[in-house]
Amino acid sequence: MLERAAAHAGAGLRFEVADLASFEAEAPFDLVFSNAAVQWVPDHPRLLERLRRLLAPGGQLALQMPANHDHPSHLAARAVAEEPQFAAALSGYTRQIPVLAPERYAELLHGLGFAQQHVRLQVYAHVLGSRDDVVEWVKGTLLTDYEKRLSPQQFAAFLAAYRDELAARLPASSPFFYPFKRLLLWARG
């Protein structure tokens, strides 16, 4: 991804690899933008405070993050992770979701001194072939957190249990309507 982005670098724009949780800049930015990354970083109040410090006066913060943690697709993953055989293999780990309510982000942005802000929750409608396609959808996002902690055999068993748990929580319809919530935050200092 960074290799492809390099073609767009120049005129003050650059791309580099850094840890979002600890990145510090040599000079302030006019824009801090993140698409679907901050949901992996804990402690959003502290994260926003740090990102605010990275901005030049009048700089902009633009963040997008999934907020579907209360959907059956995500609740089913937690339930499977808490089953004894998986809880043991995961050493009790379950994915903690640091994403806050929209109004809490508005309060935080205000408290950090942003002059303008726009915070909204957007529901994107995804029409999938069937509820089984939800499994494929979350395999590339939410379930990666469990996959990296399990052996390939354990993850295959986790995935089978997840598929069964999800089938019990979602209606069998084709096509399947999968509403996916995302938080969109914008603020100017």
Per-residue pLDDT of 75-96, as tens digits, reads: 999 999 999 999 999 999 999 8
CA distances from 43 to 40, 53, 100 (A): 10, 16, 10
What pLDDT score does 110 carry? 98
- pLDDT (mean) for 110-118: 97
- 181, two tokens: 């919530």
CB-based contacts of 103, cutoff 8 Å, min separation 6: 119
Bridge partners, 123 (sequence order): 181
Of the pLDDT bands very low, low, confident and very high (cuts 50, 70, 90), residue 16 is: confident
E strands within the chain?
Answer: 29-35, 55-66, 116-128, 176-188
Q: Does the pLDDT value for residue 176 go beyond 90?
A: yes
Closest among 75, 70, 23 to 50, alpha carbons compared: 23
Q: Does the pLDDT value for residue 126 go beyond 90?
A: yes
- 23/3 Cα distance (integer angstroms): 20
Of the pLDDT bands very low, low, confident and very high (cuts 50, 70, 90), residue 6 is: confident
In the chain, where the domains are located: 2-188
Strands 116-128 and 176-188: what pairing? antiparallel
- 125/52 Cα distance (integer angstroms): 32
> Which of the four CATH numbers 3.40.50.150, 1.10.1200.10, 2.40.50.140, 3.40.630.30 does domain 2-188 have?
3.40.50.150
Please check whether residue 126 is in contact with residue 180, taking contact to mean a CB–CB distance below 8 angstroms.
yes
What pLDDT score does 28 carry? 94
- 152, two tokens: 């390939």
Give the number of residues written for the chain. 189
Summarize pLDDT for 147-173 with one digit per residue, the tens: 999 999 999 999 999 999 999 999 999
Q: What mean pLDDT value characterizes the chain? A: 94
- 29/16 Cα distance (integer angstroms): 14
- pLDDT (mean) for 107-134: 97
- 128/187 Cα distance (integer angstroms): 33
Of the pLDDT bands very low, low, confident and very high (cuts 50, 70, 90), residue 20 is: confident
Strands 29-35 and 176-188: what pairing? unpaired
Please check whether residue 99 is in contact with residue 44, taking contact to mean a CB–CB distance below 8 angstroms.
yes
